[in-house]
């Protein structure tokens, strides 16, 4: 079963899932943002009462693309409609770029209905030289590499911006070896924008206004990271900068 799942996620899949690049007005320090709406096609992700994670993720991704372009970013998306894209192809799309920021959009579900809030993940170690995926740590030797400061800092800026703008419960930033962030060679984060299993969260997420605020907050976090990385790359946060 494990072998079948790994093959499914690493298989190239149909060619129709190629990423599409969109230009933005160039500004100082402009950077590529590769936006990854989670799930898609037969993979709906979390669901509740007809609300599907894959649809919310795609909606927020399109909003994020529009807002990011206004702030001078060039953008790409791993999918622009309801299609399934393997995890390997999502990561590979970022790795084909010389310089980019990778943002994967997701929503959560909890075992308890009370579970709520937003969280941003990054990988403690990224893009190992070994061909073994870094989300299978039991198959890999110890990497022994320094902490992932760039992605950790990006996660802190994005999380702080989301909490400040949406007032959602702050679940902080967490290092987790999710495939799509662990196998990207650029700064990469995975955002969990709320719980479909929570009544208050899903009520907000099903409104266009809140999804726009969420996309705007992510954009603000990207801009803060870009501006700091461009001016003082050695001073990126060493710890979790999210508010208490």
Cβ burial 117-126 (10 Å sphere, 16+ → b, else e)? bbbbbbbbbb
pTM of the shown model: 0.80
pLDDT at position 31, please?
87
- The number of residues in the chain equals 244
Report residue 194 as tokens.
């709320």
The answer to whether 148 touches 122, Cβ cutoff 8 Å, is yes
In a domain, 33, yes or no: yes
CB-count exposure of residue 206 (10 Å: 0-12, 13-18, 19+): middle
Report residue 131 as tokens.
């061909």
In a domain, 5, yes or no: no
In a domain, 115, yes or no: yes
46: domain CATH number? 3.40.630.40
Q: Which of 98, 126, 139 is nearest to 183 (CA)?
A: 126
In a domain, 243, yes or no: no
Q: Which of 123, 119, 144 is nearest to 134 (CA)?
A: 123
Cα angle 100, 104, 110 (rounded to 5 degrees) comes to 160
In a domain, 38, yes or no: yes
> CA-to-CA distance for 81 and 119, rounded, in angstroms?
25
In a domain, 48, yes or no: yes
pLDDT at position 137, please?
46
Provide the residue-wise pLDDT of the chain in tens; the chain has 244 residues: 433 333 444 444 444 444 656 655 444 455 899 999 999 999 999 999 999 999 999 999 999 999 999 999 999 999 999 999 999 999 999 999 999 999 999 999 999 999 999 999 999 999 754 445 544 544 443 443 456 899 999 999 999 999 999 999 999 999 999 999 999 999 999 999 999 999 999 999 999 999 999 999 999 999 999 998 865 444 454 433 333 3
pLDDT at position 7, please?
40
Report residue 45 as tokens.
């992700």
Q: Which range of residues forms the domain containing residue 48?
A: 20-130+149-167+176-235
> CA-to-CA distance for 82 and 208, rounded, in angstroms?
19
CB atoms within 10 A of CB 96: 10
Total domains, the chain: 1
Helices (H), the chain: 2-10, 53-70, 87-95, 149-166, 179-182, 199-205, 208-231
In a domain, 46, yes or no: yes
pLDDT at position 148, please?
87
> CA-to-CA distance for 188 and 124, rounded, in angstroms?
11
In a domain, 180, yes or no: yes
pLDDT at position 23, please?
59
Q: Which of 167, 209, 205 is nearest to 48 (CA)?
A: 205
């Amino acid at each position: 079963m494990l072998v079948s799942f790994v093959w499914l996620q690493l298989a190239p899949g149909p060619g129709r899932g190629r990423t599409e690049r969109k230009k933005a007005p160039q500004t100082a320090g402009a950077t590529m943002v590769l936006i990854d709406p989670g799930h898609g096609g037969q993979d709906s992700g979390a669901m509740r009462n007809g609300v599907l994670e894959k649809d919310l993720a795609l909606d927020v991704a399109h909003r994020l693309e529009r807002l990011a372009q206004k702030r001078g970013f060039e953008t790409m998306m791993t999918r622009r409609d309801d299609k399934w894209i393997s995890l390997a192809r999502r990561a590979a799309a970022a790795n084909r770029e010389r310089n980019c920021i990778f943002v994967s959009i997701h929503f959560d579900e909890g075992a308890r209905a009370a579970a709520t809030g937003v969280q941003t993940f990054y990988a403690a170690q990224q893009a190992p030289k070994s061909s073994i995926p870094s989300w299978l740590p039991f198959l890999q030797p110890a990497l022994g590499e320094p902490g992932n400061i760039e992605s950790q800092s990006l996660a802190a800026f994005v999380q702080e911006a989301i909490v400040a703008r949406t007032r959602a419960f702050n679940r902080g930033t967490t290092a987790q070896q999710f495939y799509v962030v662990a196998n990207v060679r650029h700064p990469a984060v995975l955002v969990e924008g709320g719980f479909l299993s929570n009544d208050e969260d899903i009520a907000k997420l099903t409104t266009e206004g809140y999804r726009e605020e969420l996309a705007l907050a992510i954009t603000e976090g990207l801009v803060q990271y870009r501006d700091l990385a461009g001016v003082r790359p050695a001073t990126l946060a060493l710890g979790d900068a999210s508010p208490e």
